[in-house]
Amino acid sequence: MASSELPSRRLAAELREAINSGALARGMRLPSERTLSDEHGVARNTAREAIRLLTEEGLVVAIHGKGVFVREKYRLARSPERLTRAARAAGKGAFLGDAEVNQFAPAVEVDIRTEAASEEVAAILGIGEGAEVLVRERVMSADGQPIQLATSRLPRSLTEGTAIEQPDTGPGGSYARLEEAGHELGHFSETVGARMPTPDEASLLQLSAGTPILVVRRIAFDTAGVAVEVNDMRLSGDRYELAYEFPAD
């Protein structure tokens, strides 16, 4: 019995297999629509649709004037020491730790503002709804490529008069400044999810069509168990990997 699968989907499946097997290597230019049409005995519109499907999956990317290429794969690992007191003492914020582990040149664009705490943020930080919070918005880049967006919110009562309210928080980052102010950190919690980016997120991270983002919410707690920061991060799903270790006892 003949397959009822659309020709474009069959061709996309063949190309996907070639990419996954390495026959079409990362960074390699795909054959032109005409070549695909001739080699696979399909119409050019079918070849075009197959490429569109792979583009939506994030497997290939079209570069204007050059062609369609298999997307490069990046696997940026987060430093396992990124949140440790030792790293802060050495003057390394979390992102600088990532840069050292992955050997990329880091850059961070920072926007600072204050806002009234939403009901959700107030509940996390244990403050009144509408209380003033400091917001630090960052666009983080590796070798000039944006890879992460981060939005931290902290009670203004903890940050007023500190370098946390400056674009450059100094050696060790915001967490070092919190500890200097007497708010010793006790532990962190993280929740991780994935979704498709908003148009603004896709633009800021320069994402190709079909690329998801990892969504990480980290909450920092002091030694008394009080939340002192909530940080919402959006990471390029095709560039980052998250690794965790847990004790078995």
pLDDT of residue 2: 45
Distance CA 4, CA 147 (A): 41
For 218-225, what is the mean pLDDT?
96
Cα–Cα distance, 72 to 142 (Å, whole number): 15
In the chain, pLDDT over 90 holds for what percent of residues?
61
Residue 73's pLDDT is what? 65
pLDDT higher than 80, residue 57: no
Strands (E), the chain: 60-63, 67-70, 76-77, 106-116, 132-142, 145-155, 185-195, 213-222, 227-236, 240-241
Is the per-residue pLDDT at 1 higher than 50?
no
pTM of the predicted protein model? 0.75
